[in-house]
Amino acid sequence: MKTVINLFHPNYQYSQVNRAMVDAVKDEIEVRNLAELYPDFNIDIEKEQQVMANADRIVLQFPLQWYSTPALLKHWEDQVFTYGWAYGSQGNALQDKQLLIAVTVGADNYGRDGFVKYTVDELLRPLQATSRLIGMKYMKPFVVMGASSISNAELKNVGPSYRKYLNDETIPVLGDFE
């Protein structure tokens, strides 16, 4: 199964957690740093569509920012998931491919009882809805909580956990409202 990771981190060089994740898998899986590829947000739509068409599993890796995706990821979606290619009566290029979300969250108090009052899964719902529209299987996300205050011991486990997640052929597909 061919997997490609599209990394959308605007400050990747400063992110010890995202770097640990990438370092753990970069020798086995293609990792594309889209902030480096498109610093001006001028997306090569055909190239991006070809990369996705050639993959079975597409991973979107990013830090949660203001309860959402980074601006480049949203722009990339708007440019790449075009009518007639990704959705619409003829848009089936991504049909039945797996969409995996790998997200890092600075705080650890997400959830109904925490400060934020929403779970990470709830905040990721727009990506789940998009995957449904474009016919992709939305897989259970990989989430690292408390990334801004992670201990060295916890950080050592992030890479191996991410590798295990990406090599797991039995990641559950999440249905609507899961």
Tell me: the pLDDT tens digits for 51-103? 999 999 999 999 999 999 999 999 999 999 999 999 999 999 999 999 999 99
Domain hosting 18: range is 3-167
For residues 20 and 159, the answer to whether their CB atoms sit within 8 Å is: yes
Collapsing DSSP to helix, strand or coil, 38 comes out as coil
- The answer to the question of residue 27 being in a domain is yes
Per-residue pLDDT averaged across 38-62, rounded? 98
- The answer to the question of residue 131 being in a domain is yes
- The answer to the question of residue 69 being in a domain is yes
The pLDDT tens digits for 90-109 are: 999 999 999 999 999 998 87
| CA–CA dist 168, 81 (Å, integer) | 26
Number of domains in the chain: 1
- The answer to the question of residue 118 being in a domain is yes
- The answer to the question of residue 178 being in a domain is no
- All residues at 6 or more sequence positions from 50 whose CB lies less than 8 Å from its CB, including other chains: none
Q: Domain holding 85: CATH number?
A: 3.40.50.360
Per-residue pLDDT averaged across 4-33, rounded? 97
C-alpha dist (Å) from residue 106 to 41, 101, 122, 146: 24, 16, 16, 5
- The answer to the question of residue 128 being in a domain is yes
- The answer to the question of residue 113 being in a domain is yes
pLDDT over 80 at 169, yes or no: yes
- The answer to the question of residue 173 being in a domain is no
pLDDT over 90 at 115, yes or no: no
